[in-house]
Amino acid sequence: MLPRPGLWRNFLTSKEGILLTTSATLRFLSYPPFPFGFLIFPSLALLFFAIDRKTPLQTLKLTYFWGFLSNALLLYWICWATLPGGIAAIFPLGVYPAMVFVVSSSISRRSYLLSWISLPCLWVGMEYLRSLGELIFPWTNLGYSQSFYLPIIQFITFTGIYGLSFWVMVISLLLFGAIRSLMSSKPRKSLSYVLPILVLVLLPYIYGRVVMKERVEPGGVKVALLQGNIGQGVKWNPKYVDFSFETFFDLSREAAERGVELIVWPETAAPCYLAHDQVRRRLVQNLVDELKVPFLIGAPEYKRLDSRKFVYYNAAFFF
């Protein structure tokens, strides 16, 4: 049974409800297509305030709500493809962060400091486990919120996306500590948090500026990786399938004029079941013949198991 409307209203207007709702909204705004990646830090800091010194059971309830709401905002576009599938995907996604914070809360019963120190490791471990098995779902990793800040994130050459998520979590914890110190009777203590934040931002930025100036030696295969920048609400709307194809056709022609040897449409750039759509498949083949450049196209695909069951997955098609 769902909680009575009055209980929801009381929760949403409570201190924790306001903090968590604001946090989830800021997290949503910190991911592409919004260029506000810096909002992920206050987003997580507000989350930490909401769950600070809560029992494991309280933490479970609060962080599941936060995980569900933030994932619902971030992944709303899944419902364009399949409403039942979107709902089924979003509900369990709240469990992942909840488990991380429950473990951290349990650790705090022995050592408050250790619970916060261990949190970045627990979070990154969760993101890694979430990338394995049948329930793979890495789309909301914290590191993806920083994709607009190319000079700062160049260190992922060594750490990968998980190192970037670790970095985001550490800075967010330091921000939480700085704000809490400012609100306490010892505001000067906030400097012990602010200075590490500056170091953690400036060092990657300086390194990134240096490596981005390095000259890339010519050679190899000249590949065009196209980005249509088509919103999910448009991309998965059946009325605009032809619009998506025309957008990528135009980009492909521009790429061919630059002498590329391979044109790539990433992931599900073709918003249809291309293997079963003879008309659009023929249009693609005609363009390949015209440009005399091979295409590698990402598109959704399915496999029929029986008369009622299907398996859906991403596929790549070479023309």
pLDDT value of residue 27: 96
pLDDT value of residue 270: 83
pLDDT value of residue 183: 87
Q: Where are the domains of the chain?
A: 5-212, 223-318
- Which strands, in side-by-side order, build the sheet including 223-225? 223-225, 262-265, 295-304, 310-318
pLDDT at 239 over 80: yes
Q: What is the pTM of this model?
A: 0.74
- CATH number attached to the domain at 223-318: 3.60.110.10
pLDDT value of residue 300: 86
Q: Is 110 exposed, middle or buried (0-12, 13-18, 19+ CB in 10 A)?
A: exposed
Two tokens, residue 282? 């023929």
Q: What is the mean pLDDT of the chain?
A: 87
* Residue 156, CA distances (Å) to 46, 147, 153 in order: 26, 11, 6
Confidence of residue 6 (pLDDT cuts 50, 70, 90): low
pLDDT at 1 over 50: no
pLDDT value of residue 66: 94
